[in-house]
A = this chain, B = another copy of it.
Amino acid sequence: MAEVSLAVSTVIFALRSSGRFGDDEGQRRLWLPLVRRIREPFDGRWALPGGPLGSDEGLAEAATSTLAKTTGLAPRYLEQLYAFGDPGRSGEDASRVVSVVYWALVGDDEAKAARVGQNVRWFPADELPPLAFDHQLVVEYALWRLRNKVEYSRIASAFLGAAFTLAQLREVYEAVLGRALDPANFRRQIEASGAVEDTGEVLTGVRHRPPRLYRYNSTVDLADQGPLGRLAQK
């Protein structure tokens, strides 16, 4: 039987302003880092960061290590996305690779400090260049998973600090979902969901009616993975 080799790739999402990555001004949007390929197949194209699985390396461990090598960051959230293994995905003449893909979220503050390695560049998720392999589909699926998850788990907190205003939380939702949300409706829905609780503190540095600070209700998992929860901790 011909050899099928195994790789681990990671879709890394950060939330930054809409201008240059690292800017603090303007509307926020999702960004992700890509690596320019320097060999065939797809020489010169942009691709998701990743590489072959080390012989003693766990899958999540490989994804974390890719994240560190690409951005110098540790993930706030990391989850297995899917294993992609279509026989034709590496191109006609290339040897066959099955990729186990993870998706990760990095926090705002960390993303500001992200290293940009050689051949690495951050792109807005909705303005990606043509990608190598089936990575366009991989990114689409990761975005779909993130958008679904932000609505039924406290995953947005990975982009925020421990305490946040409802306006900050809404900005995360808006950036992830890619559309504006009505502030009053958003407040009502979030309060009704019981997902967040009032910290009793207000935002400092604002003199007139400083907004309240909230935190996620910590009795709820970041994202429930059922029996895999104990694996995800590894």
Contact B228 A141 (CB under 8 A): yes
**Which label, helix, strand, loop or mixed, suits the secondary structure of the A interface?**
mixed
Asked if residues B86 and A141 are in contact (CB atoms below 8 Å), the reply is no
Expressed in whole angstroms, the Cα–Cα distance for A54 and B55 within the complex equals 21
Pair B144/A96 contact, Cβ less than 8 Å: no
Nearest chain B residue, comparing its CB with the CB of A89 = B58
Q: Are B57 and A87 in contact (CB under 8 A)?
A: yes
Q: Does A56 make an interface contact (CB < 8 A)?
A: yes
**Cβ contact within 8 Å between B80 and A1:** no
- Contact present for A144 and B227 (CB under 8 Å): yes
| Chain A residues with a Cβ under 8 A of chain B | 1-4, 6, 52-59, 80, 82-83, 85-87, 96, 98, 100, 137, 140-141, 144-145, 148, 226-228, 231, 234
Contact A231 B86 (CB under 8 A): yes
Q: Let me know if B59 and A85 touch, CB within 8 A.
A: yes
Q: CB < 8 Å: which of B57, B100, B226 contacts A141?
A: B226
Q: Are A4 and B53 within 8 A (Cβ)?
A: yes
